A and B are shown apart, each in its own frame.
Chain A
Amino acid sequence: MRFLLQRAAFYLFTAWAAITLNFFIPRLVPGDPVQSLISRNQGRISADAIESLRVLFGLDTHENIWQQYLDYWGQLLHGDLGLSFTFFPTPVATVIGDSLPWTVGLVGITTIISFLLGTALGVGAGWRRGSWVDGLLPATTFLSSIPYFWLGLVAIAVFTGPGSFFPSSGGYEAGLVPAFDGYFIPSAIKHSVLPAATILVSSMSGWILSMRNMMVTVSSEDYITVAHAKGLSERRVALSYAARNALLPNVSGFALSLGFIVGGTLLVEIVFSYPGLGYQLFQAVGYKDYPLMQGIFLIITISVLVANLLADVAYLLLDPRTRKS
């Protein structure tokens, strides 16, 4: 328990540092968002409007940076992340709130499936090493080295086009309103198949490889020989003795990969124009939409930290050696 509190304190400190950086970095970048908004509107904004924009963005020069920093924290704690330029005047919180479910739904579910499936296959391949399964390993090495987006491009080239079942872009059919009904859900699922398959194919191979290798390493441990000598069933030796120990490094890898759900598959979302957070970030960069970028970075930071905390908890639960009594 003390260990967990220590970790939590550490992550809180890291979060504070990240948020502070998140506040200062845009302010150190030359130029300011109002300038870019003016240029986007080709100067057709009145002086009053410019002034109120400055106040809106928190750029009014009357306040010193310390006061701004405190205000930033105040707003943050109220869930106020400012206004987006790209979708002006929609608040950043709303933009993120709209796109986060898409990313979590697509990448989150795919990451979990990929981990479960890859680990299960890795256990099988590692336990029966030397059989025909080993012949498939070079293929998984190959697949895991392919970047997601390239696989996505290939998938679009091969599976989409006029008359094809799979759509090449978007999260749902144009004209549908997001709702939990019989039109929208099937459409959303249909749109997610190709991006999900892309991520699955290239990320699962990594899990297979690492799990297989850990299984092979663990299989030569003394306690595995003892388990065999005890006359336990093959299944029990493989799962409760070998896989249970081989799983440990993979679990921390999995928790970390949860942290990258939000930011890690940006390119897949771009390739498929999927309305998730990664695609939003891409657009934000294109429009110099600092508030939105800041907001998304904040979400990414927090999810990485939460994932790390989850990894610690998972390790505590799975490995008694890390529990200090």
Chain B
Amino acid sequence: MTAPAAKPAAGTGSRSLRQAHPRYAEQLVKALLMIAALVSVATTIGIVIALIPPTVDFFQRVGVWEFLSGTVWTALFAEPEYGVLPLLAATLLITGIAVAVAIPVGLGAAIYLSEYAHPRTRKLLKPTLEVLAGIPTVVYGFFALAFVTPRLQDWWPFGGDGPEIKNALSAGLVMGVMIVPTIASLAEDAMAAVPRSLRDGAYALGSGRRTVAVRVVVPAALSGIVAAFVLGISRAIGETMIVLIAAGARPDLSWNPLHEMQTMTAFIAGAASGDVSTASFEYKTIFAVGAYLFVLTFVMNVISIRLVRKYREVYE
């Protein structure tokens, strides 16, 4: 190996430091991975593009204010009225019931799994919980209609007529149960990522488990926990099958959870699968409601990202 050494210092020997061949495989892999990353972005853009023209058409005939503040929704009737409030009320009410169930239960489950459970218990319980997230929503919907609603009617202790056959309450409760695994699993991931050293520091100061969980782990994992909430709420707002089956198809602005009511998603699914002609004006109402739903979830996500940035405790 004397030859390279004998060359002057400026030389690099027989082997150049320059790249011998272009690395095509590397570039191909990079391109493929980038395409994979772009698919979801492209889909979102595609949805927005698809929503805009029919929505614009719709608002040329129906005023924006009339749409947003109207209290009667009879879009598919002979003499239609386009007030979206009943659909919005049903969506918010059912989502509210679902979130009221899912956030405490989901967060509680996450804290239990991450801070209290024996490792063996966690190993068993977490996958079980995640299996729940894989149950098709149509099964949940049927469960709400065929099991929960009759039980509610039988046991209704508050007098009055009790829940109707289709009602917001049972749809909301079951939807809450449906999103518990999502929230619990993601929140647990966030808490498990909090460094052990922080817990040790808190325990060494004479904290009990509850204090460590509430004062140290949850604040440190807050951004992940809120992300879990947001994903859960987004699933609830967008959920269609449960509300279609268990909450019904009658727009109702009563805010009474015992009533049958139609959510925005249930209207879209019902109208789109009905016999509405694609050329008709009724068809465009679907897009208007869809666009409104899109804007609502988008705004909610933006607000929650802001909130998280403001309140989270960054470790490392």
Q: Do A and B bind each other?
A: no
The interface of chain B, by Cβ under 8 A from chain A, is none
